[in-house]
Structure 1
């Protein structure tokens, strides 16, 4: 439970990007910009900061991936299922890089 509590601020920022940014999608171009650039950057930065502050956790990446699933039914179509894996992988890489930087900094 403490692990989830430590993740909460980072997960909330990621959650807001998953559920608030799609509200601004107007056409295919803005959808691609949001799905391929804006959300991944937010996900990566949050994950890197989490990895820098906390020890590396696979649970964080899986949680990020799971948080995206309901947004597929709300905002997207079935072609967005691949983004579950993409955002989970981005979170994994970001938290790994953050943990690596933190470890080598000390």
Structure 2
């Protein structure tokens, strides 16, 4: 339970990105899906991994948070991005965890 509590600020940031940005800028959907969201997923996961180490649950929750946006802002063709953002957050989380281990050893 403590691990999920640690994830809340990072997941709220993802919610703001996934749900807030399309409200602000409706016209750059593809740009958002291809550049902004992957960048936000990666950076958020790296920071979380550095601070709290690896968590598979974090990547699964990022994927789950994106699912409703498909039906709210996009269409069914954006379903592919669920896996993409999950993998990107997983890679970022692993990278952050690796960075954490390197600095803990020193």
Residue in 2 that maps onto 1:89: 87
Relative to the length of structure 1, the TM-score reads 0.94
1:33 correspondence with 2:31: yes
Residue in 2 that maps onto 1:50: 48
| d(CA) in 1 for partners of 2:11, 2:3 | 12
Deviation at 1:74, TM superposition (A): 0.4
| d(CA) in 1 for partners of 2:103, 2:2 | 25
The answer to whether the 8 A contact 1:25-1:34 is kept is no
| d(CA) in 2 for partners of 1:42, 1:51 | 14
Deviations 1:49-82 (A, max 9, x none): 0000012011110010001001111000000000
Deviation at 1:2, TM superposition (A): 1.2
| d(CA) in 1 for partners of 2:21, 2:38 | 12
Relative to the length of structure 2, the TM-score reads 0.94
| d(CA) in 2 for partners of 1:77, 1:33 | 15
Query: After the TM superposition, which segments of 4 or more aligned residues of structure 1 sit over 4 Å from their partners?
Result: none
Q: Report how many residues are paired.
A: 103
Q: CA RMSD in A?
A: 0.7
SS of structure 2 residue aligned to 1:20: helix
| Runs of 5+ unmatched residues, structure 1 | none
| d(CA) in 1 for partners of 2:30, 2:68 | 19
The answer to whether the 8 A contact 1:44-1:90 is kept is yes
